[in-house]
Amino acid sequence: MSGLLEGKRILVTGVITDASIAFSVARLAQEQGATVVLTGYGRLSLVERIAKRLPSPAPVIPLDVTSAEDLAALPDRVREHVDGLDGVLHSIGFAPASCLGAPFMDAPWEDVSTAIHASTYSYKSLIEAALPLIPETGGSLVGLTFDATQAWPAYNWMGVAKAGLESANRYLARDLGSRKIRANLVAAGPLRTIAAKSIPGFNQLEEAWGPRAPLGWDLNDQQAAARACVALMSDWFPATTGEIVHVDGGFHAVGFGAL
């Protein structure tokens, strides 16, 4: 029996450690038959080391999503390893320290603009750079978000950036539909990743999530979110776009004290 992504070519951004959601997506995509190319930012040697822990070592290409030069070079760098792309995972987010944990009102525009550029605008930038690689038959863009419908402890301007990401996803779904490209987001619950550890006070969410989520919640299990990403990249969701799939144990669906 063939896998969900048999024969597909997938670009995965955001692998930092083997605890990254992106790493779990890359691993599961390979297990489901895909050829995977990773991107790395900064010290590529670290990503290359992590890439060797995949079922099949994956190539790593440099990509700073805020760099016009890197984005312009993306198609040629990808073509060194595959002849096109059927799926793209956006697993990128960054905000300066003043945007996280500190009083919301204290963050200067220079820092906020950095957060929005790296975490929101990059969603559009990434798929725009990848467009020459996507065949006429279409493809799938999947991004990772953290439910932006509420104001969370400590999340502050990253929450604003994620709200922008969720809105951008709808507009990309509208504009990319003519190219048969689906754009969807996976809203995962809190997970103990490097990104989460950088947010002061994020432990408040970790402590509250499991007791309230109807299905419970494992802070160390990236598999559920990874499976949703892989499913959305597969041919099993041919008419789904502009959607946000919650993979949070059902936390988003219940009110305070509902259980």
Nearest by Cα to 100 from 29, 39, 156, 31: 156
Question: Distance between CA 52 and CA 65 in Å, rounded?
Answer: 23
Average pLDDT over the chain reads: 93
- The predicted model gives 36-56 an average pLDDT of 94
Share of the chain above pLDDT 90, in %: 83
Range scoring the smallest mean pLDDT among 129-133, 164-168, 179-183, 251-255: 251-255
Q: From the CB of residue 35, how many other CB atoms can be counted at a distance below 10 Å?
A: 19
Dihedrals phi, psi of 35, to nearest 5 degrees = -95, 125
Q: Is the pLDDT of residue 180 over 50?
A: yes
Q: pTM score, two decimals?
A: 0.94
pLDDT value, residue 198: 66
Share of the chain above pLDDT 70, in %: 95
Tell which wins on pLDDT, 206 or 142. 142
> Per residue in 126-173, pLDDT tens?
999 999 999 999 999 999 999 999 999 889 999 999 999 999 999 999
Question: Distance between CA 62 and CA 77 in Å, rounded?
Answer: 8
Strand partners, 145: 187
The DSSP line for 40-72 is: E-S-HHHHHHHHTTSSS---EEE--TT-HHHHH
Q: What share of the chain is helix, strand, coil (3-state, %, to 5)?
A: 45, 15, 40
